[in-house]
Amino acid sequence: MSPAPLSDAIVSSTAPVPTKTVASQGKDQVEFVYKNDVHITEYQPLIPPALLIHETPVTDAAKHTIARARAESSAVINGTDDRLLVVVGPCSIHNVDAALEYGKKLKEIAPSLPGLVLVMRAYFEKPRTTVGWKGLINDPDLDGSFQINRGLKIARNLLINLTASGVPVACEVLDTISPQYTSDIYSWGAIGARTTESQLHRELVSGLSMPIGFKNGTDGGLAVAVDAIRASSRPHAFMGVTEAGLAAIVKTTGNNDLHIIHRGGKKGVNYDEKSVQDSKAELLKQLPDRHPSIMIDCSHGNSEKDYRKQANGVEAICQQLNKGEKAITGVMIESNLVEGKQSEPKAGVQEKTDLVYGQSITDGCVSWETTVDFLQKLNAAVEARRSVNGA
């Protein structure tokens, strides 16, 4: 069957717009007018990374915290430090004061947990399955005004204050531009289940200065994370943005401080011993020159979207550590000052001041009191692992 002639085709809304028809040999023909940016409403200036960094420089105290935590995180995931890397904190940050209070509590408890390397979750960007609040950087005022320049300034200032106080911070690398504004402050980062397979993110990770964990796919499969480690450990050349905000060809050396993260999936949880052993065997097979390093995310798929079930993951991890398991090098916990979650404020209906202080507006989190219990159990399990392994 031959295709219909152009004059008979239906013009879609994304195609050049027909302005009039003209008669030609007894048939109407569509005259097209070329238009670009058909679906763009506005371009607004974005502050160059170099200017924001100049206005909010990293202090000497913050640099010490960042460098120390990067080195310790690297040693743990590469198997040369027998402590456990614990990335713990709010699902996302929407209140600066609450985040600072959480960081203060984390710093105060750290000396009593010598078996753990504690890094605070400081997530300002959130991946959404459909729509919703995308995080403090994208919409700092929680009102749909999208004051991104303001969000970047708030985020960078908070990160500097936390690290200057001695609290190292972790992030999820969600896009390929925002790292130029904040990645100099982070000590560890994650690539989420939705982006582990993304070539752009694998290339970006190859040039980042911090250890990175790749989550298994949303289906629970490990192959995409293993492939990501293999890809990101190699040099790349790709299009990117400099600190001056200019487009550039970025060339990288590759990043060798990489590991996988078990986060569960559609097939169920994967914090159990069988899942860990299966991954360990696969890592030894696919990446024989690396320590088989596995972080277990107790939230997300492993909590089956019930923050209280993070306790099941912590318990399973402790049981395996008590037996001497060395492949488990890290744990992730979603935690806040107040347990549970609340709905994000509706623009024009609810004020930010109506929100419960210290409670998540994205995924549910365990309370600070429960967090302390989790951390103490994990610390005791690390001590037990040392005893089993004769350390």
In a domain, 323, yes or no: yes
Round to whole Å and give the CA distance between 314 and 370: 11
Statement: residue 41 has pLDDT above 60: yes
Tens of pLDDT, residue by residue over 239-285, are 999 999 999 999 999 999 999 999 999 989 999 999 999 999 999 99
Round to whole Å and give the CA distance between 33 and 55: 45
Statement: residue 373 has pLDDT above 70: yes
In a domain, 33, yes or no: no
Round to whole Å and give the CA distance between 297 and 221: 15
Whether residue 120 contacts residue 169, with contact meaning beta carbons closer than 8 Å, is answered with yes
In a domain, 13, yes or no: no
Question: Residue 87 phi/psi, 5° resolution?
Answer: -100, 110
What tokens appear for 247 in the block?
Answer: 């487009």
In single-letter form, the type of residue at position 308 comes to R
CA angle 77, 82, 85 (to 5 degrees): 50
In a domain, 11, yes or no: no
In a domain, 24, yes or no: no
CATH code of the domain in which 177 resides: 3.20.20.70
Per-residue pLDDT band for 26 (boundaries 50, 70, 90) equals: low
pTM: predicted TM-score of the whole model, two decimal places = 0.91
DSSP letter, residue 265? B
Half-sphere exposure of 69 (CA within 13 A, CB side): 31
**How many domains is the chain partitioned into structurally?**
1
CB count in 10 Å sphere of residue 93: 28
In single-letter form, the type of residue at position 334 comes to E
In a domain, 23, yes or no: no
In single-letter form, the type of residue at position 47 comes to I
In single-letter form, the type of residue at position 123 comes to Y
Per-residue pLDDT band for 13 (boundaries 50, 70, 90) equals: very low
Q: Which domain holds residue 180?
A: 46-389
In a domain, 371, yes or no: yes
Statement: residue 177 has pLDDT above 80: yes
Tens of pLDDT, residue by residue over 80-103, are 999 999 999 999 999 999 999 999
CB count in 10 Å sphere of residue 277: 13
In a domain, 20, yes or no: no
